[in-house]
Structure formats: structure tokens, C-alpha cells
Amino acid sequence: MIETALDRLTEEGLLSESRYLESFVSYRARSGYGPARIREELSQRGLQRADIDLALRECGISWQSQLEDTWRRKFSGHLPIDAKERAKQGRFLSYRGFSMDMISRLLSGKAMDD
């Protein structure tokens, strides 16, 4: 009975994995999370890795801008003044799901577009 209901909802376009992926990626990105964290959360929900990667590529989100926005909100746009502060900022941003390469470039003060 459940299978029949799910099939009917899918046929009517009311149940869509791609719409769910799109919505979830958008919501979590607006909440300040990066692609690695979002990918992991979706994997834990049992979604296919290829579908997740496709959704992350096609979402239209600039992850560099997202990183900068998240960093500015948390640290008021202040670059770290010592190794301890740099590690603190790096840990936070890494936990949020941004790559170490992007974080290093941001915290070193380099433009993200280089």
C-alpha cells in the first residue's frame, strides 16, 4: 500500500529526490554550511553520491562567497593576528564544510579569485 502511494506521488511530481536535493543544498548553504558538510549530511540520509555531487555542482552557489559570508558573520571580517586565532578560525570553517585550500586562501588575505 505504501509503495503504491509513493509511486503515485512520484508520477504526479509531488515526490522528487532532485527537488529535495536542490532545496536541502540551498537551505544549508544559506545557513552557512559548505559543500563538504552538505555532502556528508545528504549521504547520511541515504542519497546517492552521484546525485549529491550533481546537485552541488548545479546549485549555482558560489562557495567562495559563501565561505567569506560565513567567516564575516562569525569573525566580523577580522583576519587572524596569530597562529592560535588562525587555527580557531580554520577549525570553525572546516567544521562548516569548506575546503582547507579555500580557508587558507581566505585567512592569508589573498583574493579568492586568484
55-105 pLDDT tens trace: 999 999 999 999 999 999 999 989 999 999 999 999 999 999 999 999 999
pLDDT of 114 reads 44
Q: What is the mean pLDDT of residues 101-113?
A: 81
CB atoms within 10 A of CB 60: 9
CATH of the domain at 17: 1.10.10
Q: Provide the angle, in degrees to the nearest 10, between the axes of the packed helices 49-58 and 17-30.
A: 60
**Residue 6 shares a structural domain with residue 37:** yes
Q: What is the pTM of this model?
A: 0.81
How many independent structural domains does the chain possess? 2
**Residue 18 shares a structural domain with residue 42:** yes
Residue 96: domain span = 63-107
Residue 8, domain member (yes or no): yes
Residue 113, domain member (yes or no): no
Q: For 7-59, how does the pLDDT look when each residue is reduced to its tens digit (9 = 90+)? A: 777 777 666 688 889 999 999 999 999 999 999 999 999 889 999 999 999 99
**Residue 54 shares a structural domain with residue 87:** no
Residue 33, domain member (yes or no): yes
pLDDT of 53 reads 94
**Residue 38 shares a structural domain with residue 83:** no
3-class DSSP string for 9-71? HHHCCCCCHHHHHHHHHHHHHHCCCCHHHHHHHHHHCCCCHHHHHHHHHHCCCCHHHHHHHHH
Residue 37, domain member (yes or no): yes
At 59, give phi and psi (nearest 5°).
-75, -20
